Amino acid sequence: MQLVWRPLAPREFDHELAWLCVSLGGLVAAATWLTLGLPWPLCVFHTMTGYPCLTCGATRSAMAFFHGNFPAAFAWNPLVFAGYVGLTLFDIYAFVTVVLRRPRLRVVGLTPSEKSFVRWTVITAAAVNWGYLLLNSRRFV
C-alpha cells in the first residue's frame, strides 16, 4: 500500500469536492431539521428489541460534538464520535485541496491481505462498539 500525492487528472472524479458537498449538505439538512423543531429520528431496532443498535446515540453524540463537549460525544457512541472526527479532518483536507487546487492524496496498490485487514478492523471496531453500547444500554431509555 502506498499513499501518493498527485494532481487531479483530466476528467477524473473529484472525490474531495463531491464528499465535501455531501458532508456540508448533510450538516445543513440536520441543522435545519433541528432548528425547525422537527421530531428526532426514532430507532426502529431499539423500539422493537429494547437494545441499542450500532448507531444508537449518534444524534446525541453529534449534538455534543457540535457543542464542543467531546467527552459526552464519545460516551454516547465512540465509533460514531471517531467518524465525526474523521469527517471533520477530511472536510478540512478537502476544502484546502479544492480551494487551493492542491494535489490529491490517493491510496494505491492495496494487496488482498491489506484489504482483508481493513475489513476485519472495521468489523471488529463495529462489534466492540456495539458491545460498549449494549453494556451502557440504560442510557438509551
Under the banding of pLDDT at 50, 70 and 90, the label for residue 141 is low
The whole-number average pLDDT for the span 52-75 is 94
Q: What is the pLDDT of residue 40?
A: 82
**Residue 32's Cα: distance from chain center in Å?**
19
* CA distance to 21, 82, 137, 141, per residue, from 30 (Å): 14, 19, 25, 23
Q: What residues does 108 pair with on adjacent strands?
A: 2
Q: Round the average pLDDT of the chain to a whole number and report it.
A: 94
The proportion of the chain whose per-residue pLDDT surpasses 70, expressed as a percent, equals: 99
Question: How far is Cα 33 from Cα 97, in angstroms, rounded to an integer?
Answer: 30
Under the banding of pLDDT at 50, 70 and 90, the label for residue 21 is very high
Q: Which residue has the cell 490517493?
A: 106
Q: Which grid coordinates belong to 39?
A: 421530531
The proportion of the chain whose per-residue pLDDT surpasses 90, expressed as a percent, equals: 84
